[in-house]
Amino acid sequence: MSTTVKITAAEVNKLRQATGAGMMDCKKALVEAEGDFDKAIEVLRKKGQKVAEKRADRDSSEGAAVSKINADQTEGVAIVLGCETDFVGKNENFLALANQLADIALTVDSKEAFLAADFGGMTVADKLIEQTGVIGEKLDITSFEKLQAPFVGTYVHINKIAALVGLSAKVDNADTLVKDVAMQVASMGASTLSYKDFDPAFVASETEARIAVIEKDNIELGRLGKTLKNVPQFISMAQLTPEVLAKAEEAAKEELKAEGKPEQIWDRILPGKMERFVSDNTTLDQEKCLLDQNFIKDEKSNVAKYVASYGEVEITDFKRVSVG
């Protein structure tokens, strides 16, 4: 007949500190492992595997977005530690785990290397399985983004969105610049840096789709006797060739002439009309291109102009991760 091993409160607490598991789960694991600490960790890990298998088809659409920047601010990482419920996603221990994971993520170059990296004697992947058993919800790294540049900054919005921005140089007040632009990335969700990055086929198909939507809306607006929406000819600066702009300027002059405006004052009116033409016909850029978006802290300016106000510096790249 085997002797029951006596488990002390100190041993239970040690296992709890190491794994984050509840007191009773830790005690049961130590009893099953006959007091062997390493075996008890394995018991908890196996429990996590069972829970993970049962919850494999669950959607880890909640969680926490966190970011880390290295000491010399030349590299940053942003990850999302996903879970199933917002309740868990806001838990202090869960957020602490997310930040521990981000520290490790900063030392590797890919999500694959991250999941294989060491976390207290086990891999990150195994730690996620262990904590699935502890928390009782599916845990997963749903996003992993890395960015390198001469100067890198970040902004995290209530642990739901994390943004990284790279600068071409560390200029005066670079911290303010990079944080403001990272806030822009987090808030406005740009998908590319400039309209120059667009594939022509994408612009063409997007133009057709957007015009079709507006025309459909106008049918209903017309039926209701309401003001119709403007149907743009174009949606991106990529389409506004010198020929297109010259034609638009000629049309604007014809309008001024028809309105009876004296020709000697056209130079004062034309810039505003051309600015309006460009604005009306670059809606895709304003939505998707970071540099072309209206700056959230000054909507009279765009991001490109704001960056230029800091001198010889450019945005080299940006990354954004979000929960859900």
**pLDDT digits (tens), the chain, 324 positions:** 345 678 888 888 888 777 767 777 788 888 888 888 888 877 877 776 666 666 666 777 899 999 999 999 999 999 999 999 999 999 999 999 999 999 999 999 999 999 999 998 889 999 998 888 888 888 999 999 999 999 999 999 999 999 999 999 999 999 999 999 999 999 998 999 999 999 999 999 999 999 999 999 999 999 999 999 888 889 999 999 999 999 999 999 999 999 988 999 999 999 999 999 998 899 999 999 999 999 999 888 899 999 999 999 999 999 999 998
Rounded CA separation 114/213 (Å):
43
Inter-residue contact 311 to 51 (CB < 8 Å): no
Give the pLDDT score at 45: 73
User: What sign results for the dihedral spanned by CA atoms 166, 167, 173, 176?
Assistant: negative
To 10 degrees, what angle do helices 124-135 and 37-54 make? 80
Query: Rounded to whole angstroms, what are the CA distances from 218 to 133, 229, 278?
Result: 54, 6, 22
Domain ranges across the chain: 9-54, 62-168, 241-280
Residue 26: Cβ-neighbour burial (10 angstroms; 0-12, 13-18, 19+): buried
Does the global pTM surpass 0.85?
A: no
Give the pLDDT score at 2: 43
- Tokens 């004697």 sit on residue: 121
Alpha helices by DSSP H, listed for 136-199, are 174-188
DSSP β-ladder status, 315-322 and 161-167: antiparallel
The rounded mean pLDDT for the chain is 90
CATH class of the structural domain 9-54: mainly alpha
Strand, helix or coil for residue 85: coil
Rounded CA separation 307/297 (Å):
12
| Residue 194 CB contacts under 8 Å (≥ 6 apart), including other chains | 289, 290, 291, 292
Rounded CA separation 247/242 (Å):
9
* Phi, psi of 164, deg, nearest 5: -120, 140
Residue 71: Cβ-neighbour burial (10 angstroms; 0-12, 13-18, 19+): exposed
**Which tens digit of pLDDT belongs to each residue from 20-45?**
677 777 888 888 888 888 888 778 77
Which CATH superfamily, name and number, covers 62-168?
Elongation factor Ts, dimerisation domain (3.30.479.20)
Could you give the maximum distance between any two Cα atoms of the chain, in Å? Answer: 110
Burial call 253-272: b when 16+ CB within 10 Å, e when fewer = beebeeeeeeeeeeeeeeee
Are both 9-54 and 62-168 of the same fold?
Answer: no
The tokens of 251 are what?
A: 């049309």
